[in-house]
C-alpha cells in the first residue's frame, strides 16, 4: 500500500491508485513530465492543498479482495475511507469511527443556493414573455388552486430553463413551474422520459399542465432537499454520517437498476457521433478558450488517437436507458420513508453504456469520494445489475475498466461544458468545480499507459509536472 505522494493542481493530496482484477500488474517508474507511464502530479511552485491525516483501521475485506496482493491496494491508508467535498473540505474516516474531524459549516461550491425559497419579483429580460407567463399562470392557478404571490425561484440550471416554486391554497403543498423558451429548449423529451420513469414506479415530476407552444409547464414538486445538500450537512467524521451517506447511495443505486430496466427504444442512441461531438468540447472550449492553449501537431494527433481509444471502449458496452446526469444535484431526498430518490434533469436520456450513470453518480463533479468507497458501491451496483439481468460484464475487473473509460469520456466532456458555460453563457459558478473534474480525467489517463500522452497534455494545460507513479 503506497503512502500518498505529490499534490495535484487542485491542491488535494494524491494517493496511488489501486489495481482492480483484470488489469495488468504495475511497474514503478521515476520520471518527469513526458516520461512514459502514469505518474503522480506535483504543482509547480507548490500546491494550495492540505494533507489528509493517516489513520489505521481494519481493511474493508470486500474491497481488498478486488486488488492483487503484490503491493497494490485501494487509494488511501489501509482500511481508511477518504471523503472529499469539492470546496476542499476533507474528512478521512474509517468505519465505524474516524480519527479525523471535518471542519464545521463548510459548504461545497456549485451547490444549489440555500436562499432560493424567498418569494419576490422574478427577473425577466423579455417583457413580452413576462406578460405571456403571467397570463398562463393566472389560468393554471385558477385550475390548480395556486397562489401566484408565492412564486419564487426553485433552482438554478445550466441550460436556458428556469424553475419556480409556488404554494397551493389552504396548505396543500407546492408545485413547480418550468420556464423553457421554445427557441432554446425542446420540452418533448422531458415529458416523454418523465412518463417512462413514472410508469416504472420511479419518482419523477408529474406533468400537470403544459403550454407547449410557449414553453411553460406545471409540475409536481419533489421537494427542496437535494442529495448534495444533505451530504454537505452530514458529519462525515463519524459512523452515523457515513452510514447515512451510504444509505443514500444505496437507494440511488437501487433506483438506477430500476431505471436501466426500462426499455430504451424511445430515446436517441448514444452513438459514436454523439460521443465524439461531446469530446470535441474539450479541445474547443477547455483547451483553446479556457486555457488559451494551442495544441502542437503531435498533441493533436495524440488527442485524436486517445479519442478513438475512448470511443472504442465505450461503444463496445451494451446499451441501456441512460439518465445522462445522474448525480447529487439531480437526486432529491424522498418525500416519504421507503420511497426512492426523486429524479430530475432527465430530458437528455439516451440508449447508451450501462456504466455511464454509475460513473456520473460515483465520480460526481460536485462531491468526491475516495476510490475505495467508489469500488464498494460499484460492486453493489454490479452484483444487483447482474441479478436484474442487465447487460454488465461477468467479471468485475472488466466492468471497472468500462467504468473508468466511460468516466474519462464524461469528464473530458464536462471540462468543455463547464468552460463553455463560463465563456459563452456567463455562468462562472461552474469554474470552481473544474479542478475536481480535471482530477478525475487525469486519474484515469495517468494509470493507463496508452493514455500517457493525454495525461501529459492535461498536466501541461494546468502547469502540473509529473514526479512518480505507475504504469498499467
235 and 103 share one domain: yes
Q: What CATH code is carried by the domain that includes residue 294?
A: 3.90.1200.10
| Domain termination residue (choose one: 171, 188, 220) | 220
What residues have CB less than 8 Å from 82, skipping those under 6 apart? 15, 52, 75, 76, 90, 91, 92, 93, 369, 370, 372, 373
| Domain presence at residue 16 | no
107 and 194 share one domain: no
294 and 376 share one domain: yes
Q: What CATH code is carried by the domain that includes residue 166?
A: 3.30.200.20
| Domain presence at residue 14 | no
| Domain presence at residue 457 | yes
pLDDT of res. 24:
39
| Domain presence at residue 194 | yes
174 and 59 share one domain: no
pLDDT of res. 120:
65
| Domain presence at residue 51 | yes
- CA atoms of 464 and 33, how far apart (whole Å): 8
| Domain presence at residue 456 | yes
What is the chain's length? 472
410 and 360 share one domain: yes
pLDDT in tens, the chain (472 residues): 333 333 333 333 333 333 333 343 333 333 333 333 333 444 333 333 332 223 333 333 333 333 333 233 333 323 333 344 333 323 323 332 222 223 223 333 333 333 345 666 788 888 999 999 999 999 999 999 999 999 999 876 667 889 999 999 877 899 999 999 999 999 999 999 999 999 999 999 999 999 999 999 999 999 999 999 999 999 988 899 999 999 999 999 999 999 999 999 999 999 999 999 999 999 999 999 999 999 999 999 999 999 999 999 999 999 999 999 999 999 999 988 878 999 999 999 999 999 999 999 999 999 999 999 999 999 999 999 999 999 999 999 999 999 999 999 999 999 999 999 999 999 999 999 999 999 999 999 999 999 999 999 999 999 887 654 444 4
Q: Which of 364, 362, 385 is nearest to 374 (CA)?
A: 362
153 and 91 share one domain: no
pLDDT of res. 172:
82
pLDDT of res. 337:
81
| CA-to-CA dists, residue 259 to 193, 194, 207, 222, 331, angstroms | 11, 11, 19, 17, 13
pLDDT of res. 121:
76
274 and 401 share one domain: yes
| Domain presence at residue 11 | no
pLDDT of res. 436:
97
Percent of the chain that is helix, strand, coil (3-state, to 5)? 40, 15, 45
| Domain presence at residue 383 | yes
Using the Cα atoms of residue 92, residue 95, residue 101 and residue 103 in order, give the sign of their dihedral.
Answer: positive
- CA atoms of 192 and 213, how far apart (whole Å): 16
| Domain termination residue (choose one: 197, 220, 243) | 220
216 and 282 share one domain: no
240 and 265 share one domain: yes
Q: Model-level pTM?
A: 0.76
- CA atoms of 122 and 160, how far apart (whole Å): 15
150 and 100 share one domain: no
Classify 234 in phi/psi space as left (phi over 0), alpha (psi -120 to 50) or beta. Answer: beta
Number of domains observed in the structure of the chain: 2
CA 349 to chain CA mean position, Å: 15
The residue range of the domain holding 304 is 27-112+226-471
88 and 184 share one domain: no
328 and 425 share one domain: yes
- CA atoms of 27 and 251, how far apart (whole Å): 38
| Domain termination residue (choose one: 220, 237, 272) | 220
What residues have CB less than 8 Å from 70, skipping those under 6 apart? 25
- CA atoms of 307 and 233, how far apart (whole Å): 39
Amino acid at each position: 500500500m503506497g503512502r500518498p505522494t505529490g499534490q495535484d493542481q487542485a491542491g488535494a493530496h494524491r494517493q496511488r491508485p489501486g489495481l482492480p482484477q483484470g488489469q495488468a500488474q504495475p511497474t514503478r517508474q521515476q520520471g518527469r513530465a513526458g516520461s512514459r507511464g502514469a505518474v503522480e502530479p506535483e504543482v509547480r511552485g507548490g500546491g494550495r492543498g492540505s494533507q489528509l491525516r493517516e489513520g489505521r483501521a481494519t481493511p474493508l475485506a470486500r474491497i481488498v479482495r478486488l486488488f492483487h496482493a503484490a503491493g497494490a491496494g485501494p487509494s488511501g491508508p489501509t482500511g481508511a475511507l477518504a471523503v472529499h467535498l469539492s470546496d476542499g473540505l476533507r474528512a478521512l474516516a474509517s468505519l465505524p469511527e474516524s480519527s479525523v474531524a471535518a471542519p464545521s459549516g463548510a459548504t461545497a461550491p456549485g451547490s444549489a443556493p440555500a436562499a432560493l425559497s424567498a418569494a419576490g419579483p422574478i427577473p425577466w429580460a423579455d417583457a413580452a414573455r413576462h406578460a405571456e407567463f403571467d397570463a398562463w399562470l393566472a389560468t393554471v392557478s385558477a385550475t390548480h388552486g395556486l397562489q401566484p404571490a408565492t412564486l419564487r425561484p426553485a433552482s438554478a440550471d445550466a441550460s436556458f430553463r428556469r424553475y419556480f416554486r409556488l404554494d397551493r391554497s389552504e396548505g396543500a403543498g407546492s408545485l413547480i413551474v418550468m420556464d423553457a423558451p421554445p427557441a432554446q429548449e425542446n420540452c418533448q423529451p422531458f415529458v416523454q422520459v418523465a412518463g417512462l420513469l413514472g410508469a416504472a414506479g420511479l419518482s419523477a415530476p408529474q406533468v400537470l399542465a403544459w403550454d407547449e407552444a410557449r414553453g411553460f409547464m406545471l409540475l409536481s414538486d419533489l421537494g427542496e432537499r437535494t442529495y448534495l445538500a444533505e451530504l454537505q450537512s452530514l458529519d462525515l467524521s463519524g459512523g452515523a454520517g457515513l452510514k447515512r451517506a451510504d444509505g443514500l447511495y444505496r437507494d440511488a443505486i437501487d433506483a438506477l437498476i430500476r431505471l436501466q430496466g426500462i426499455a430504451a427504444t424511445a430515446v436517441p442512441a448514444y452513438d459514436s457521433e454523439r460521443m465524439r461531438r461531446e469530446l470535441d468540447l474539450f479541445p474547443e472550449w477547455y483547451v483553446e478558450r479556457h486555457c488559451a492553449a494551442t495544441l502542437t501537431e503531435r498533441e493533436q494527433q495524440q488527442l485524436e488517437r486517445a479519442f478513438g481509444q475512448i470511443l472504442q471502449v465505450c461503444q463496445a458496452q451494451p446499451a441501456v436507458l441512460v439518465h445522462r446526469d445522474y448525480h447529487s444535484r439531480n437526486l432529491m431526498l424522498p418525500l416519504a420513508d421507503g420511497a426512492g430518490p426523486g429524479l430530475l434533469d432527465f430530458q437528455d436520456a439516451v440508449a447508451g453504456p450501462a456504466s455511464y450513470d454509475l460513473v456520473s453518480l460515483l465520480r460526481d463533479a460536485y462531491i468526491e469520494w475516495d476510490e475505495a468507497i467508489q469500488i464498494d458501491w460499484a460492486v453493489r451496483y454490479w452484483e444487483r445489475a447482474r441479478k436484474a439481468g442487465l447487460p454488465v460484464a461477468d467479471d468485475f475487473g472488466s466492468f471497472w475498466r468500462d467504468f473508468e473509460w466511460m468516466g474519462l469520456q464524461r469528464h473530458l466532456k464536462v471540462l468543455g461544458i463547464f468552460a463553455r458555460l463560463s465563456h459563452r453563457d456567463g455562468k462562472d459558478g461552474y469554474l470552481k468545480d473544474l479542478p475536481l473534474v480535471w482530477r478525475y480525467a487525469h486519474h484515469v489517463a495517468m494509470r493507463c499507459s496508452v493514455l500517457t500522452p493525454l495525461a501529459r497534455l492535461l498536466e501541461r494545460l494546468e502547469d502540473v509536472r509529473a514526479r512518480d507513479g505507475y504504469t498499467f
